[in-house]
Chains A and B, each alone.
Chain A
Amino acid sequence: MQKKAEITAVRQTSPVGKAVGTVLINLVLWVFSLSCIFPLVWMLYSSFKEKRVFNADIIGLPKVWDPVNYIKILSNKDYHLWQSMWNSLRTTGLSIIMIVLFSFIVGYILARIRFKLNRPLYVMFLMGMLIPIHSLLVPIYVVFKNVNLLDKWYTLLFPYVSFGLPMGIFLTEGYVKGIPVALEEAASIDGAAFSRTLWTIIFPLCRPILVTIAIIQIFGCWNEFSFALVLMNDVNLQTVPLALTQFKGQFASDYPKQMAAMLITMAPIVVMYFAFNGQIIKGMVAGAVKG
Chain B
Amino acid sequence: MLDSIRPKKSTIYLYLLIPVALFVFTVFMPLVAALFYSFFEWKSGPVKTFNGITNYKLLFADTTFWASFGHNLYLVLACIIGQIGIAFILVLFANSRLARCQTIHRTFGFFPSTISAVCIGMIWTMIYHNKYGILNWFIINVLGRPELAQVWLNDSAHVMLYVSIPLIWQYIGYYMVIMFSAIAGIDKSIFESAEIDGANGYQTAIHITLPLIRNTMLVCLTLCIAGNMKAFDNIYTMTRGGPGTASMVMAMYGYKVSFEQTNLGYGSTISVAIFVLSLAVIGGSQWLVKRATRGLEA
> Which residues of A line the B interface, CB within 8 A?
1-9, 18, 21-22, 25-26, 28-30, 32-37, 39-40, 42-43, 54-55, 58-59, 102, 105-106, 109, 112-115, 117, 121, 124-125, 128, 130-143, 146, 158-159, 161-163, 165, 181, 184-185, 188-189, 193-195, 197, 219, 222-226, 229-230, 240-241, 244-245, 248, 255, 258-259, 262, 265-266, 269, 273-274, 277, 280-281, 284-285, 288-289
Contacts and interface: CB of A to CB of B under 8 A. Distances in A.
Contact of A139 (B33, B93, B114, B195): B33
Contacts of A7: 97, 195
Interface residues of B, number: 114
Contact of A22 (B12, B20, B98, B115): B98
Nearest to B249: A134
B293 interface: no
Interface stretch (B1-9, B144-152, B156-164): B1-9
Nearest to A34: B108
A2 B95 contact: yes
B258 A132 contact: no
Given A135-B278, A142-B30, A289 B216 contact: yes
B190 to A, nearest CB: 9
A195 B22 contact: no
Given A2-B92, A139-B31, A258-B122, A184 B5 contact: yes
Interface in B88-113: 90, 92-101, 104-113
A264 to B, nearest CB: 11
B194 interface: yes
B219 interface: yes
25 contacts: A2-B92, A2-B205, A2-B209, A4-B204, A5-B191, A26-B100, A33-B104, A36-B169, A54-B132, A58-B133, A106-B19, A124-B23, A130-B279, A135-B34, A142-B30, A194-B11, A219-B114, A226-B233, A229-B255, A241-B118, A244-B118, A244-B122, A245-B236, A262-B119, A289-B182
A142 B173 CA distance: 37
Contacts of B155: none
B84 interface: no
Contacts of A219: 114
B251 to A, nearest CB: 5
A1 B37 contact: no
B245 interface: no
Given A158-B22, A185-B4, A5 B204 contact: yes
Question: SS class of chain A's interface: helix, strand, loop or mixed?
Answer: helix
A266 B19 contact: no
Please name the 10 residue pairs, one residue from A and one from B, whose CB atoms are nearest each other, closest first.
A223-B116, A139-B30, A194-B7, A132-B278, A139-B34, A33-B108, A3-B97, A135-B275, A134-B230, A162-B26
A142 B268 contact: yes
A6 to B, nearest CB: 5
A285 B177 contact: yes
A60 to B, nearest CB: 11
The SS class assigned to the B binding surface is helix
A136 B116 contact: no
B12 A262 contact: no
Nearest to A131: B27
B18 A142 contact: no
Given A2-B96, A245-B237, A289-B178, A139 B173 contact: no
A170 B216 CA distance: 18
Contacts of A188: 4-5
A113 B16 CA distance: 12
B115 A274 contact: no
B267 interface: yes
Interface of B: 1-5, 7-9, 11-12, 15-16, 18-20, 22-27, 29-31, 33-34, 37, 90, 92-101, 104-119, 122-123, 125-127, 129, 131-134, 137, 169, 172-174, 177-178, 181-183, 186, 191-192, 194-195, 198-201, 203-205, 208-209, 216, 219, 223, 226, 229-230, 232-233, 236-237, 251, 254-255, 258-259, 264, 267-268, 270-272, 274-275, 278-279, 282
A134 B232 contact: yes
Given A106-B19, A245-B237, A128 B270 contact: no
Contacts of B133: 58
A108 to B, nearest CB: 9
Contact of A35 (B8, B30, B169, B174): B169
Contact of B279 (A3, A125, A132, A274): A132
A186 to B, nearest CB: 10
B119 A136 contact: no
A136 B98 contact: no
B264 A142 contact: yes
Contacts of A241: 116-119, 233
Contacts of B105: 29-30, 32-33
A223 B83 CA distance: 21
Contact of A36 (B97, B111, B132, B270): B111
B169 to A, nearest CB: 7
